[in-house]
Chain A
Amino acid sequence: MIKTLIKQNFYQDSVKLMLLSRRLSKMEEIENVSAIMATCSNIDILKMAGLYTEEVRKASPDDIVVVVEGKTEKACALAIEEAEREIEGRSPGGEGKDISGEEEESPKSLAAARRRLPGANVTLISVPGKYAFDLADQSLDLGISPMIFSDNVSLEEEISLKKKAEKLGLIVMGPDCGTCVIGGACIGFGNKVKQGNIGIAGASGTGIQQLLCLLYNGGGGVSQAIGTGGRDLHKEVGGISMLAAVDLLEEDEDTRVLVLISKPADPEVEKKILQRVRSGKKPAVICFLGSGPRPEEADGQLCFEPTLEEAAWRALQLAGIRLQPGRSYIRGLYTGGTLAYEALYLMKQKLPEVYSNIPMEGIGKLTDSMVGEKNSVVDLGDDEFTKGRAHPMIDPGLRNSLILREALAEGTGVLMLDFMLGYGCNGDPAGEAAESLRAARKKAEEMGKSIRLLGHVCGTELDQQDLRKQEATLRELGVETYSSNAAMVRAAIEYGKREV
Chain B
Amino acid sequence: MNLQEISAANSKAIEEMMKADPVWVDVCPAIDVIPGMTPKTILHAGPPIHWNHMCGPMKGAVAGALMLENLASTVEEAYELAASGEITFDACHNHSAVGPMAGVISAGMPVFVIKNKVQGNFAYCNLNEGRGKVLRYGGLGEEVTDRLIWMRDVLGPALKAAVKFMGELRIKPIMSEALHMGDDLHNRYKASSSLFANRIAPALFETGKNGADTAKVLEFVGQNDYTFLNLAMPALKCMADAGDGVEGSTIVTAMARNGTDFGLRISGLPGQWFTAPAPPVDALYFPGFSEKDANPDIGDSTITETMGFGGLAAAASPSVVQFVGGSTKDAVNRNLEMYEITTRENPEFTIPTLEFRGIPTGIDILKVIELNVTPALHTGVAHKEAGVGQIGAGCLRAPMKIFQDALQKFSDTYLK
Binding site for B on A (CB under 8 A): 13, 15-16, 18-19, 21-22, 32-36, 41, 44-46, 48-51, 67, 95-99, 102, 104-105, 107-109, 111-112, 115
Contact = CB atoms under 8 A, between A and B. Distances in A.
A22 B326 CA distance: 13
A50 B323 CA distance: 25
Given A18-B284, A18-B285, A33-B287, A104 B131 contact: no
Chain A at the B interface: SS class = mixed
Contact of A18 (B132, B286, B367, B373): B286
24 contacts: A13-B319, A15-B393, A18-B285, A21-B287, A22-B284, A32-B287, A41-B131, A41-B132, A45-B288, A48-B388, A51-B287, A51-B288, A96-B326, A96-B327, A97-B329, A97-B330, A99-B329, A104-B329, A105-B333, A108-B340, A108-B371, A108-B373, A109-B367, A112-B340
Interface centre among A13, A15, A98, by most B CB within 10 Å? A15
B337 interface: yes
Interface in B293-347: 319-320, 322-323, 326-330, 332-333, 336-337, 339-340
Given A35-B287, A41-B132, A45-B288, A99 B336 contact: no
B284 A107 contact: no
Contacts of A97: 326-327, 329-330
Contacts of B288: 32, 34, 45, 48-51
B286 A45 contact: yes
B368 to A, nearest CB: 11
Contacts of B333: 104-105
A276 to B, nearest CB: 32
Interface footprint category on B: 20 to 34
Contacts of B131: 41
Nearest to B328: A99
Given A22-B284, A49-B288, A112-B340, 17 more contacts: A16-B319, A18-B286, A18-B392, A19-B322, A36-B287, A41-B130, A41-B131, A41-B132, A44-B133, A49-B289, A96-B322, A97-B327, A99-B329, A102-B329, A104-B333, A105-B337, A108-B371
A19 B284 contact: yes
Interface centre among A46, A67, A102, by most B CB within 10 Å? A102
Nearest to B317: A15
Interface in B375-393: 388, 392-393
A310 B254 CA distance: 67
A108 B340 CA distance: 7
A404 to B, nearest CB: 67
A48 B328 CA distance: 33
B327 A45 contact: no
B284 to A, nearest CB: 5
A34 B287 contact: yes
Contacts of A48: 288, 388
Contacts of B339: 112, 115
B393 to A, nearest CB: 8
A21 B290 CA distance: 12
Interface string B358-375: 000000000100110100
B336 A104 contact: yes
Contacts of B285: 18, 22
A41 B336 CA distance: 36
Contacts of A104: 329, 332-333, 336
